[in-house]
């Protein structure tokens, strides 16, 4: 079945460091890919998405490129801030109507220190 694998955390960085959180997936067909973020005490929020191969999703300085050849969707940010400290979830949707449930990875906790 479809699945998502994320790198384990926590990832600990100093402010302004470069961030990469690895995500790979297993899926049949052509899934859409997502990164969700969960700030402390809050619900999940969509950070970015990509719906087809070679698409690049971007938001708030974060980017991820849908790589079909390597079945990956790694999250990157050039310069992290303390406010980016959160748990990041990679997810896929197989987009098979009418059900388009999200399948999540286990999450990666990011801690950014001043």
Partner 1 sequence: EAGVAQSPRYKIIEKRQSVAFWCNPISGHATLYWYQQILGQGPKLLIQFQNNGVVDDSQLPKDRFSAERLKGVDSTLKIQPAKLEDSAVYLCASQQGPGLIAYEQYFGPGTRLTVT
11 touches partner 1 (CB under 8 A):
no
Minimal distance in Å, beta carbon 96 to partner 1?
A: 8
26 binding partner 1? (CB under 8 A): no
Q: Does 114 bind partner 1 (CB under 8 A)?
A: no
CA distance 108 to 13: 13
Which one among 43, 69, 70, 114 touches partner 1, defined by CB under 8 A? 43
Helix (H) or strand (E) holding 75: strand 75-77
Count each helix (H run) and each strand (E run) in the chain, helices first. 0, 12
| Rounded-to-integer distance, Cα 57 and Cα 15, Å | 23
Closer CB to partner 1, 31 or 84, in the complex = 31
Q: Looking at 4, 80, 86, 110, which residue binds partner 1 (CB under 8 A)?
A: 4
- Return the percent helix, strand and coil in the chain, to nearest 5: 5, 55, 45
The residue whose two tokens read 């700030």 is: 39
Asked if 101 is part of the footprint of partner 1 (rule: CB under 8 A), the reply reads: yes
The residues binding partner 1 (CB under 8 A) are: 4, 32, 34, 36, 41-46, 49, 51, 89, 91, 93, 95, 97-107
């Amino acid at each position: 079945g479809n699945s998502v694998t994320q790198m384990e955390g926590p990832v600990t960085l100093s402010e302004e460091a470069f961030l990469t959180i690895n995500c790979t997936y297993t899926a049949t067909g052509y899934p859409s890919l997502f990164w969700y973020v969960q700030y402390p005490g809050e619900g999940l929020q969509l950070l970015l998405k990509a719906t087809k191969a070679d698409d690049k999703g971007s938001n708030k300085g974060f980017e991820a490129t849908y790589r079909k050849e390597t079945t990956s969707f790694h999250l990157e940010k050039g310069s992290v801030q303390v406010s980016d400290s959160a748990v990041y979830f990679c997810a896929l949707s197989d987009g098979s109507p009418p059900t388009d449930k999200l399948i999540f990875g286990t999450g990666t906790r990011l801690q950014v220190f001043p």
